[in-house]
Structures are given as structure tokens and as C-alpha cells.
Amino acid sequence: MKYACVKSSGVYVPEEELPNSVLQQRFSDNPDFVEKMAQKSGIYTRWRAPKNFATSDMAAKAGEKAIAAAGLKPEDISIVIVGTDSPDYITPSTSVITAHKLGAKNAGTFDVGCACSSFPSAFSIASGLMAANTSYKYILVIGAYLMSRFADEKDIMSFFYGDGAGAVVLEAKDTPGFIASSFLSDGSYAMDWGIYAGGTVEPASSEAIAAGRTQVKMLNKYPPSVNEDGWPKIVNELAERGNFELSDVSLFIFTQVRKRTIEKVMQKLEIPWEKTHCVMEKWGYTGSACIPMALHDALEEKKAKTGDLVVLVGSGVGYNQAGTAFRL
């Protein structure tokens, strides 16, 4: 059997910065809001893609870097998977457009759309494809996020949204690689946070646009237990299924939405803080892209090396949660 192994990674961060100081002016009628949110979330800035960019442009930029870092050509890629909940279009898929922009002319493509758990979900799917199909040698897995385009700048939740993309090239090898996956969901939260017009429930219309229903909205806050209990559950399931101890893990990466939540989860798992990595301080919350971006940054900082055990846990609206464990 073949195992999916991380061969390389890459990120795309836009050039235009939107720091908290700008948001303090924007929300001047609520002067304490930005500072309070920064303290809770750990977010101090975020970046904005050029106006002429779509999600596929960012995905292609990150993919190009990962492919180059792997010493490969776009034609070497067997499959391009894009995980996002800010697609270019409802249809066609963002992945097929991304592959075309990359020049990955030999690749099949598909999207994974389970919000901010999309990347670990896509990683697990790619691993299964490699195990079952010996012809797939290289799969490009990308997480990309351009939710700022769906946000009302006057909405205080726009504090979170940063644009960006992260990617990994997976290589099929005889030794692990991919070890285990775990998934959780609860659709009773589906109407708490999302974009509720533009699909089949309510197609886009002038009325929906005028009412702001084609924009991303948080209608209800998720209870802290969703992540504070859900993430440890996923981590423990990964350890059980992968037959490893938590102390064996060199690097834990969680969805980069709230630093305090990561702190609580690491304490609950009784794992030293040094074994996780955060990037929200410099890139904001990049949703579907935040896990591969954090992984790339951690690898750049030498927080894990070849042979080390890594755990990724993503959590997104719906809610969807997913985790994957693998050796570098």
C-alpha cells in the first residue's frame, strides 16, 4: 500500500495589509471592540487580495510555490484538490480553474467544501486516493480563503477575515505518511453562521442582495464547547486510530480563529504550548487556508522534521470538524 507523504508546502499572502489600527477607526463608535477582539483572538492584522483576484488566483499562487518547492512541474500533478467555502462560482469548481491557471494539464480536480475543516478533510481524501490507486504519485492539496469578498465591512465580524492560500504536494510512498483521520459534525448549527442566499434555498436576487443575504453573517454565536470539547475529541480519536500517544506528537495545528481556544485545548490535552503553532497574529483568520498556511510556517521555522508526527484539526461553520495525523 502507498502512503501520502508531505513532499513540500507553499503559501500565498497578499501584499495589501489591513491592520487593527485601521479597524479601530472604522469601528470608532465601539472603541473597545477591536482591542478586546485582539486579546481574545490573537489577531492583529490581516491581508487583502487584489481586487481582480478570485479564490483560484490565490490557490494557484500557493500551488505554484508548493510545486516549485517539490522540484516538480505542474504536469507532474495527478489531482488538484481545492478546499474552500469562498469559491469562484457555485459551478464550475474552483479546482478546475485553479488547475488550468497552474498548467496542471494532466490533473483531475475536485473541490472540498466543508468550511474551515476543508483542508484536513481534503488531505485525508487524497491519502485514501493514493492508497487505492497506485497511478497517483503526486496530489496537490490547497486551502484558499477569500471570505472578505462576502463580508460587509461595517459588520464587526469583518475583523476576522484575512485572505490567503496554503498548499501541500503529497507524494505516494511506501512508508507512512498518512496515519489516521477523524470527523465530527452537527448540522443543528447550520443556520448560525453562513451565506444564506445564492443557493437553491434562496437563489440570488436583487431583493436578497439589497437585504445583505448574499453576504456572510454570524446570526448566533457558537458555544465554546464546540471547539473546546470537539478538538480534544478529534485528537484523542486520531491517537486511538493511529495507535500513538499524544506525547509522541511533535506538532499540533488547529484552526486559527481564536488563540484562547487553542490555549484551552492544549491545556486540556496536557500538551506543552511549544508543540503548537499560530499564525493569526500576522495573517488574521484565513479560514479554509489557515491550517496549510500554519503548517508551512511551522515547517519554515523548523518546528517539525522528517519522521515527526503531526496532527491537524480544522473546525468550520455547519458545524464541520476534521482531523488528520501523519508523519513528515
Which overall architecture, per CATH, does domain 3-174 show?
3-Layer(aba) Sandwich (3.40)
Residues 267-302 have pLDDT tens digits of: 999 999 999 999 999 999 999 999 999 999 999 999
pLDDT at 15 (0 to 100): 97
Residue 221 pLDDT > 90: no
Residue 31 pLDDT class (50, 70, 90 cuts): confident
Mean pLDDT of 221-230: 93
Q: Which residue in the block uniquely carries the three cell numbers 486540556?
A: 268
pLDDT at 165 (0 to 100): 98
CATH superfamily assigned to domain 180-191+220-327: Thiolase/Chalcone synthase (3.40.47.10)
Which is nearest to 261 in space by CA: 288, 296, 293, 285?
Answer: 285
Pairing state between β 193-194 and 138-145: unpaired
Q: Where in the chain is the domain with CATH 3.40.47.10?
A: 3-174, 180-191+220-327
Residue 29 pLDDT > 90: no
Residue 304 has a CB neighbour count (10 Å cut-off) of 21
Residue 6 pLDDT > 80: yes
Residues 32-43 have pLDDT tens digits of: 899 999 999 999
Residue 239 pLDDT class (50, 70, 90 cuts): very high
In whole angstroms, give the CA distance from residue 326 to residue 39.
32
pLDDT at 212 (0 to 100): 92
User: Cα 149 from chain centroid?
Assistant: 17
Mean pLDDT of 114-129: 97
Mean pLDDT of 71-90: 98
